[in-house]
Structure 1
Amino acid sequence: MNDPVTTLDARFSDTDAEPTSWEATREVLENAQITWLATVRADGRPHVTPLVAVWLDGALHFTTGPEEQKAVNLVRNPHVVLTTGNNTWDEGLDVMVEGEARRVIDRDTLARLAAAWRTKWDGRWHFEQDDDVFRNDIGDPALVFAVEPDKVLAFGKGTFSHTRHVPRVTPTGR
């Protein structure tokens, strides 16, 4: 998502709050060390797990092993929420991304994403691109998913604000 429509929801914001800019929101997504992924199990129960995500080309990306619960859930229901921020009440910015997870299988995109993952933390997230998956250092496969946001919510703390970012609709539909 680039250049979204940004609005402040005054119902959930302090009277002197300003909307959180897209730039500030995107920065939180780009710099997050941990992101929490919520998927839906076959019986409708939620499944939430922490992971390392990468923001690239207007989407938030994550990986999972083919047999992990999140991968199993995504086969049935691609709708997800990814959240990040901090655990303090009165400072920082919490961000939620809503959308559908889709597999990334393009070799060039996977190569660029593998390079982006190596920049996370201290470089210990090392993947190699192999056909339509990543491989870790012992050769295990990792599926790569992208979430192009349908909606991004930014919750400012201190001066409390509730900002909504949605894709700008163009004559071509997005």
Structure 2
Amino acid sequence: MTGAQFGSDELGIRNRLRRLIERTDTTRAATPDDYRPRDQSAPSRGPVPHRTPVSKEPASGNRKKPRRKRPTYRTTKPKAPRQSLLDAWDRVPPRVRWLAYHASAAAVGWRIGWVDWSTDTAAWYAAGHWTSPSAIALYALAILTIALYRRSRHWAWPVAWCAAVPVSSVVVGVLLYGNGYHP
């Protein structure tokens, strides 16, 4: 179908719909002129009366719609303001800082071998060694480690981070044992 045919079909459909809406006599049968597109020449039957008088001048002074300006969009992202590393660290959410702190401590514990040791110890406890003399020594070691970790939280951050390495390693090791990891 070419563009001209498509346009004439569109106009024909529009004319039929208008006639159906404006028709007051519903008993009249459709004639071939009802299906003829507007731009095709029809046999002349005389002048076609208009419902409203046609004037050359528009009803209002200016018929043009006001032009809307399109919003301008940025083509590049705005640059972040310059700041020091300490200012950037202060803007990091506290939960993310906590996660980075303990994840790095657990990574060091993994490298040292404490995560594997705590996984093996969790498996040893799961085998039923809850009240043996070695278990009681491990309980005392755990209490001392947690006390050191809690006490060092307000010290200089490198010292506090070193005290967090065993605690984070044990937590990760026990979690890995619960997931079936056995080194």
Q: TM-score, normalised by structure 2?
A: 0.21
Higher RCO (CA 8 Å, separation ≥ 6 residues): 1
Q: TM-score, normalised by structure 1?
A: 0.21
**Higher Cα radius of gyration:** 2
The structure carrying a bigger strand percent of its residues is 1
